[in-house]
Amino acid sequence: MMLKKIFPFLGWRFAKGDLRADLMAGLNVALVVIPQSMAVAQLAGLPVVVGLYASILPVLFGALWGSSNHLQTGPVAITSLLTATALMPLAVPETTEYVLLAGMLAVLLGIIRLLIGFFKLTVVANFISKPVMDGFVHAGVLVIASSQVSKLFGLTLQRSDWYLRDLWNLVLNLKEANGIALLLGGLSIALLIVVKKIFCKLPAALFVVAITTAMVYFFQWSERVDIVGTIPTGLPKFTPVSLDWNTVLKLLPGALVITFIGFMEMCGVAKAVAVKSRQPLDLNQEMIGQGMAAISSGFTGGYPVSGSFSRTALSFACGARTGMTSVFTGLFVALFLMFLAGTLYYLPKAALGAIIIVAVVKLLDFRRLFSYWKVSKVEGATALITFTATLLFAPQLQNGILVGVLLSIVVFLFQTLKPHVALLGRHPDGSYRTHDRYNLKLDKHMPVIRFDGRLFFANISYFEEIILDTCVRYPDAKFILVDCQGMNAIDASGIVMLEDMTEKLRENGMELYFARMKYPVRRKLEKAGLFEIIGEDHFYHRIDDAREAALARRAGGTNYTI
């Protein structure tokens, strides 16, 4: 049992035909990951071979130590862009120093993921709300796509520390576009769309790579357009990684952002596939798998990796049944590196740019982004501000997500400090509902207030304001009833406040009653002795019972408790 906890893949079980299905699914995914990994490595500012290195052991380790049978780990666009964001201030892209830093970042990312998985801290990802995530992703997609336009036009432009300046510089230099590169890039985009639409089972990216490479070779365009050039053959070698403290401090912000964004991306696809495959999913174990994948990437010449949405969906669609699919995928990529990497010498970089653009543009869904306005103006504004901030801060994308997270926390605190409060009236069907929405009459002698939220130190003054305001608005009231159905918790400050409030009201000839209080809240009041102070005859399971008791008391009758 302990061995299976340390090595979860020992618990894999195979039915008849599973390995054959996994082999074919693994081959299909490998045909997609080879061109994609090369393309997104360029996006990260790394040589294309680094993307291939990150598609061997990380793919295997992510499956062997993860919990999902279908999640495909490896190089992805958003993680690659965030890698470039973290590394470009520290080194020149595609240099030896830059590649070493990418490995260090991968190892640091893996350590963070392992700690989160071991200590079951995946809940921390809840600090990134869906509107914030979508605002960030949409801005990130625009940054990714526009950063590849220069490759389509055959332009070599220096990146600055501000994305919008780079975009304007690109527009100014479009007149110097390379016609052949534009032809190859445009043809690549057209082929990717057409092949995917008509021949959906064909690996469109690999088809585009083969066609454009052949065109450059046969038409002898290698001197007129940027090509990939020599790709080192053979398996990646072990690369020692030294994590000195100064470098770790510089890489830590980027590693944390990649951790959060990668986790959200991984969660989305893993949960979607888990629902379809009816497979239980352990997110903490999945973080351990992602951590092992990142560390293995760092020590084998790769760079930060994450769960891939498109390749995971492809794996499931191709009939993958177990984690062996990822093992086969990694082995196929290794075979390609050993025997076929040299065939892509003439691959134009314009084709790689086209592959990235077509892959990421599918993530754009502005209708969903603007739909948050219909749900809540606050959440809609949060998504829009995150989107705008990410574009303005690019290429320092972590600042954009930080703005979104801080904004979400502020909104959460504001909503917690002032939870929803409603005055209730009795509906003809016997239920109690918000009086102004349903035009219901209020009991002026016993107003009913519903407090929707936990009562704790941060909002007790707001609760007091509500009670006192009700006293002023209804001067004939002798009782105030608090409907506690929406009150999930209470702390010591809330208990002391209720005790003080009870005394203040009694001094003015008023009583505080409670109905529909949940057991955890009721239990705390009992432990604090508040039932004795307030009186057990002030607590009821039903609002009608509380009103009848108050009416009986007002008429001089006998109170009762339930």
Cα→Cα distances 79→140, 145, 190, 263, 374, Å: 10, 14, 26, 11, 31
For residues 496, 500, 505 and 510, what is the CA-based torsion angle, rounded to 10 degrees?
40
Cβ atoms 495, 527 nearer than 8 A? no
- Tell me what percent of the residues of the chain surpass a pLDDT of 70: 98
What's the pLDDT band for 365 if we cut at 50, 70, 90?
confident
What own/partner pairs with CB < 8 Å and gap ≥ 24 does 161-169 have? Answer: 161/89, 161/395, 161/396, 162/394, 162/395, 163/391, 163/394, 163/395, 164/391, 164/392, 164/394
Which of 431, 428, 389, 436 minimizes the C-alpha distance to 408?
Answer: 389
Rounded to whole angstroms, how far apart are CA atoms 489 and 491?
7
Tell me what pLDDT residue 561 has.
38
Higher pLDDT, 401 or 56: 56
Backbone phi, psi, residue 307, to 5°: -70, 135
Tens digit of each residue's pLDDT (9 = 90 or more) over 253-271? 999 999 988 888 888 778 8
User: Rounded CA gap, 91 and 97, in Å?
Assistant: 7
Per residue in 220-255, pLDDT tens?
999 999 999 999 999 999 999 988 889 999 999 999
pLDDT at 342 over 60: yes
Q: Cβ–Cβ contacts within 10 Å for residue 359, how many?
A: 24
**Residue 405, pLDDT score:** 87
CATH numeric code, 418-554: 3.30.750.24
**Residue pLDDT, tens place only, 70-84:** 999 999 999 999 999
Query: What are the DSSP calls for 450-511, one per residue?
Result: EEES-B-TTTHHHHHHHHHHHHHH-TT-SEEEEE-TT---B-HHHHHHHHHHHHHHHHTT-E
In whole angstroms, what is the distance from residue 216 CA to residue 221 CA? Answer: 5
Quote the mean pLDDT of the chain: 91
Q: Span 479-485, mean pLDDT?
A: 95
Confidence of residue 556 (pLDDT cuts 50, 70, 90): low
pLDDT of residue 560: 36
What pLDDT does residue 147 have? Answer: 87
Average pLDDT over residues 512-531: 94
pLDDT at position 264: 85
What residues does 512 pair with on adjacent strands? 480
For the chain, give the percent of residues with pLDDT over 90. 65
Which one has a higher pLDDT value, 436 or 83? Answer: 83
Helix (H) or strand (E) holding 327: helix 324-339
Q: How far is residue 434's CA from residue 424's CA, in Å, rounded to a whole number? A: 5
Choose between 192 and 129: higher pLDDT.
Answer: 192
Cite the DSSP H helix spans in 153-177.
163-172
Q: Is 308 exposed, middle or buried (0-12, 13-18, 19+ CB in 10 A)?
A: buried
Question: Domain boundaries in the chain?
Answer: 2-408, 418-554
Per-residue confidence at 1, pLDDT binned at 50, 70, 90? low
Higher local confidence (pLDDT), 122 or 525? 525
User: At residue 557, does pLDDT exceed 60?
Assistant: no
Per-residue pLDDT at 498 exceeds 70 = yes
Instruction: Please give the torsion angle defined by the CA atoms of residues 416, 433, 542 and 524, in that order, rounded to the nearest 10 degrees.
Output: 0
